[in-house]
A and B are shown apart, each in its own frame.
Chain A
Amino acid sequence: MNSKIMELNKVEVWDGNMAATQAMRQADIDVVAAYPITPSTPVVENYATFHANGYIDGEFVMVESEHAAMSGCVGAAAAGGRVATATSSQGLALMVEVLYQASGMRLPMVLNIVNRALASPLNVNGDHSDLYLTRDSGWISLCTFSPQEVYDMNLCAFKIGEHMDVRLPVIVNQDGFLSSHTAQNIYPLQDKEACDFVGEYKPLNAMLDFSRPVTHGVQTEEDWHFEHKAKQHDALMNSTKVIAEVFAEFEKLSGRKYNFVESYKMEDAEIAIVVLGTTYESAQLAVDKMREEGIKAGVVAIRVFRPFPLKEVSDMLQNVKAVACMDRSAPGGSVGALYNEISGALFNSPARPLLSNIIYGLGGRDMTIGVLCDIYRDLDAEAKAGKLNGSIQRFVGVRGPELKYYKV
């Protein structure tokens, strides 16, 4: 634990960036190497302030780019330390090369991604373009829907990634501005409680252990590369056991329960949307409105984006008649990622709900409760008609002529 304790109130009013930083501070990190970028800048600023004020015993390294930030993290993690950083959007894009090194080298670390659109056109607001950019990077990817969850998932992330059965880096996603710059009630753990939960860092094949010299980041051609990548995938797939254990332990400590797939009023839902990010919470208000209108709506959100909870999400959607998979990212010439994942999840199951893909909220475009209600009403109409209304994919909330693709 850091030598200087910060006394926290039972309830604090923090935005998502502060929530991430406080969890990082409590996790007693050895090295943070970071380069600020909107909207994750305050994570780096807050952390530097805590460091300057003596609340952090570890190192804080200011680097010249995000590529260097992630490289610094890889170096420090290979050396045998607990490591974390934060970024967004273009910064994440610059980190991508090193993301694959971190996961391939099986180096645990925590990366806070404050989700933001990718240029061009330049845009600092929230969407999930950068989240999707990390899809195949081999990291565990956790999603949060409020500042409280950012705090909670950060504490869980260290414990999951560093577990000896996992040893993988972990991303914690939060929506740019809608979570990162939105201050809400947070019920934090005190420093000792949080630090004890995360636990002491246990190095594995540390480069600074001179009694046992090791090599990291080697070259393997056709003779061994496949075996390495297979083992990496196996570790990622089997991390579900540890994730479940950590979530259960966190619930005991905090009373807050987390699941691989979160849902609201799905028990008797006839129509549903599947989302990521803060939209999950807003959609609950829309669900309540729909139920007043007699429409049995529900909402499903993916908490653990990687490893993808294929079975859990499929189970959740077995009894619905129509589902809209909502992607907050430009799909780049196909259906959205979430649509693909959900289709794949359902294909080997008995359920055959109508499945549509909605593209929404790019570059921070507001998703209102009113629009969510309209989406539910459309879904209800489709469910009653027994067929999709003309196409699989459509854009919602965009100006100009209606955009629909993949006619049915």
Chain B
Amino acid sequence: MLEIRWHSRAGQGAVTGAKGLGSVVAETGKEVQAFAFYGSAKRGASMTAYNRIDDKKILNHEKYMNPDYVFILDPGLAYTDDITANATDETKYIITSHLSKDEVIAKIPALHGIEDRVFVLDCFTIAQETIGRAIPNTPMLGAFMKVSGMFELEYFQNAMKSVLSKLPQKIIDANMVAIERAYNEVH
């Protein structure tokens, strides 16, 4: 069982991202789960979304999770959310920030000593420059492909094309560029 927790602000596409990842993974024959907790939260409020991926039917409906990966979609949440909650000794973190990796880690004591499990990229700038809106979800998934090695870049891009198929072609193409940039820029 692979488990992912997304830290995001409502409106940044975490739910769409989690469901999109689920759809891509489900096509490979695996069982997936994507859910979120936001209650009656409005745009801008801190929220979390979750993925579970397994070879067999997913029966677990608890919110509690020991994540294998933690995605932070908003730079501010790296400091204000408890991003290491219920983490394991192998949990990996992908953080979007305009700061360098060293600068990000320096300000978050919980990440000290686990630098090799922390990955940073600027999803906002990538999304702004490619898609034209600061929606960090698809760049985050591009970065995740690099960090996890789950799928080859090209396979993932093709799979995401069908997930995004309802969007205008121009936006789909921009997302493909965003995914590729994120894949190459995360470190």
Chain A positions within 8 Å of B, measured between CB atoms, are 9, 11-13, 15, 38, 124-125, 175, 177-179, 181-185, 278-279, 281-282, 284-285, 366-370
Residues on A with C-beta less than 8 A from B63 are 366, 368
Per the bound structure, the CA–CA distance linking A355 and B19 in Å amounts to 41
Given that A11-B26, A38-B40 are known contacts, is A184 also in contact with B62, CB under 8 Å in the complex? no
Beyond A13-B32, A279-B61, A285-B60, 10 additional contacts (C-beta under 8 Å) are A9-B27, A11-B27, A13-B19, A15-B19, A182-B33, A278-B61, A281-B60, A282-B61, A282-B62, A369-B60
Q: Are A13 and B26 in contact (CB under 8 A)?
A: yes
Per the bound structure, the CA–CA distance linking A402 and B56 in Å amounts to 38
Q: Are B32 and A178 in contact (CB under 8 A)?
A: no
**Minimum CB–CB distance for A151 against chain B, Å:** 15
Per the bound structure, the CA–CA distance linking A366 and B19 in Å amounts to 21
Q: Are B61 and A370 in contact (CB under 8 A)?
A: no
Given that A11-B27, A183-B19 are known contacts, is A367 also in contact with B62, CB under 8 Å in the complex? yes
Q: Are A181 and B26 in contact (CB under 8 A)?
A: no
Given that A13-B22, A183-B19 are known contacts, is A281 also in contact with B31, CB under 8 Å in the complex? no
Interface size class on chain B is 20 to 34
A369 is contacted by which of B31, B32, B39, B62 (Cβ under 8 Å)?
Answer: B62
**Minimum CB–CB distance for A377 against chain B, Å:** 17
C-beta contact mask, B58-84 vs A, less than 8 Å → 1, else 0? Answer: 111111100000000000000000000
Q: Are A284 and B59 in contact (CB under 8 A)?
A: yes
Q: Which 4 A-B pairs have the closest CB atoms?
A: A278-B61, A281-B59, A182-B35, A183-B34
Residues on B with C-beta less than 8 A from A284 are 59
Q: Are B59 and A282 in contact (CB under 8 A)?
A: yes
Considering only CB atoms, which chain B residue lies closest to A184 in the complex?
B33
C-beta contact mask, B1-42 vs A, less than 8 Å → 1, else 0? Answer: 000000000000000001100110011000111111101100
Residues on A with C-beta less than 8 A from B23 are 13
Q: Are A282 and B35 in contact (CB under 8 A)?
A: no
Residues on B with C-beta less than 8 A from A185 are 26, 31-32, 57
Per the bound structure, the CA–CA distance linking A278 and B32 in Å amounts to 16
Considering only CB atoms, which chain A residue lies closest to B163 in the complex?
A13
C-beta contact mask, B141-181 vs A, less than 8 Å → 1, else 0? Answer: 00000000000000000000000000000000000000000
Given that A13-B22, A281-B60, A370-B64 are known contacts, is A182 also in contact with B34, CB under 8 Å in the complex? yes
Q: Are A178 and B61 in contact (CB under 8 A)?
A: yes
Per the bound structure, the CA–CA distance linking A12 and B39 in Å amounts to 25
Residues on A with C-beta less than 8 A from B34 are 13, 15, 182-184
B60 is contacted by which of A38, A125, A181, A282 (Cβ under 8 Å)?
Answer: A282
**Minimum CB–CB distance for B162 against chain A, Å:** 9
Considering only CB atoms, which chain A residue lies closest to B51 in the complex?
A183
Per the bound structure, the CA–CA distance linking A182 and B35 in Å amounts to 4
Residues on B with C-beta less than 8 A from A184 are 22, 31-34, 58
Per the bound structure, the CA–CA distance linking A72 and B57 in Å amounts to 39
Residues on A with C-beta less than 8 A from B18 are 183
Residues on B with C-beta less than 8 A from A177 are 35, 37
**Minimum CB–CB distance for A275 against chain B, Å:** 11
Residues on A with C-beta less than 8 A from B62 are 282, 366-369
Residues on A with C-beta less than 8 A from B58 are 184
Residues on A with C-beta less than 8 A from B61 are 175, 178-179, 182, 278-279, 281-282, 367
Per the bound structure, the CA–CA distance linking A175 and B64 in Å amounts to 17
